[in-house]
Amino acid sequence: MASNNWIFSFIIVFGFCTFSSYVEGQNSVVELNEDNWTDMLKREWMVEFYAPWCPACKALEGIWKEFAQHSSGLGIKVGKVDVITSPGLSGRFMVTALPTIFHVLNGEFRQYKGSRDRESLMTFIEERKWQQVDPVPGWKSPNSLQMSVVSSFFKLSQNLRDLHNKMTEDFGLPTWGSYLIFAIATILMGALLGLVLVCLLDLIYPPKHTSVQSSVPTKTQKKKDSDDELADEDIRDDLVDDASQSEGEKQTDSESDQDYKTQSPNKMKKRRPRRAD
């Protein structure tokens, strides 16, 4: 009988500990990163962006954990993002100050700018004060295409900085040498990208081929030119003939007028004067 009571007590204690661990796990702060950040699009979330070196973030850490413990009664999930290990998310959300808190619901993102104490955070959810805050515009929404591009640039800049630190610290390369390598790599990549773009444009919009006329005249062209020259000569001859003929006619007319003037006085009769009445 005593053994049965001991087994029953063990089951109760084990079940209570398991349930407590489950509830504590459900009410703990969820670490979000580049891989699981889309989980915040499924439910209502409050997400903090922080950095380990930030004094204000360290001051908010205890309050954020207490807020997460009461999140089950609020029906929300509480998460946090380390901007050092997830630079792409800081670029995706355009985080410019730390700590930064976002409220997320149904794919809408609103930045929380109230007091950073547990009561104010709970009131913000319980009284639905987030409805008074304008959501982030669509073109700046973290799940938009353009912000995905910005996120990629932030991750690229972080990788380049890590590479710079590795070359200067691990390999002992001077700072100017690292900058020189980056400059040469940038020029080469730009030239390669320009070449690729030119090839793509030639494939999409091929250039039009124009036929070049030969400067050496063909037989047909020679014959045509000779015919034109003959025609021009005929026209000039006709014009010369017409001009000479017209001059001859003028000369004949002037001679006939002269003859008439010389002959007319002899042929004309003098009139006798009339006698006065």
Neighbouring residues of 72: CB distance < 8 A, sequence distance ≥ 6: 23, 26, 27
Task: Flag the least confident range among 92-101, 136-145, 169-178, 215-224.
Answer: 215-224
Reference 168, options 182, 156, 155; nearest CA is 182
User: Among the ranges 80-89, 152-161, 189-198, which has the highest mean pLDDT value?
Assistant: 80-89
Known catalytic residue at 199: no
Most confident region among 11-25, 67-81, 137-151 by mean pLDDT: 67-81
| Pairwise CA distance, residues 196 & 214, whole Å | 36
Answer yes or no: do 159 and 127 share one domain.
no
On whether residue 164 sits in a domain, the answer given is yes
Does 259 fall in a domain?
A: no
Which of 29, 57, 60, 68 is catalytic? The answer is 57
44 & 74 share domain: yes
Spatial distance between the Cα atoms of 127 and 19, rounded to a whole number of angstroms:
30
* pLDDT at site 174: 86
Residue 262 CB coordination number (10 Å): 9
The pLDDT score that the predictor gives to residue 272 is 53
Q: What is the mean pLDDT of residues 29-51?
A: 92
Q: What is the pLDDT of residue 74?
A: 86
Q: Are residues 200 and 162 in the same domain?
A: yes
Is 215 a domain residue? no
Higher pLDDT: 71 or 82? It is 82
Range of the structural domain that residue 172 is part of: 147-204
pLDDT tens for 166-212 read 788 887 888 888 888 878 888 888 888 888 888 888 888 887 766 55
**Residue 155 falls within a domain, yes or no?**
yes
* Domain-ending residue, one of 181, 204, 227: 204
Same structural domain for residues 131 and 156? no
The average pLDDT across 135-153 equals 84
Same domain (yes/no): 129, 153: no
Residue 207: per-residue pLDDT? 77
- As a whole number of angstroms, the distance between CA 246 and CA 255 comes to 14
Active-site residue, 17 included: no
Residue 113 shares a structural domain with residue 157: no
Task: Based on the fold, state whether residues 103 and 71 are members of the same structural domain.
Answer: yes
207: number of Cβ within 10 Å: 7
Flag whether 79 is in a domain: yes
Same domain, 91 and 129: yes
Q: Are residues 42 and 71 in the same domain?
A: yes
* Position 97 in a domain: yes
Total tally of structural domains belonging to the chain = 2
Annotated catalytic residue within 41, 54, 122, 133: 54
Q: Are 141 and 109 in contact (CB under 8 A)?
A: yes
Are residues 156 and 130 located together in one domain of the fold?
Answer: no
Q: Are 89 and 81 in contact (CB under 8 A)?
A: yes
Statement to judge: residues 32 and 129 lie in one domain: yes
The percent helix, strand, coil of the chain (3-state, each to 5) is: 65, 10, 25
In a domain, 11, yes or no: no
238 — pLDDT class (breaks 50, 70, 90): low
If asked whether residues 156 and 80 sit together in one domain, one would say: no
Domain end call among 123, 139, 155: 139
3-state secondary structure of 259: helix
In a domain, residue 183? The reply is yes
Q: What is the mean pLDDT of residues 234-257?
A: 53
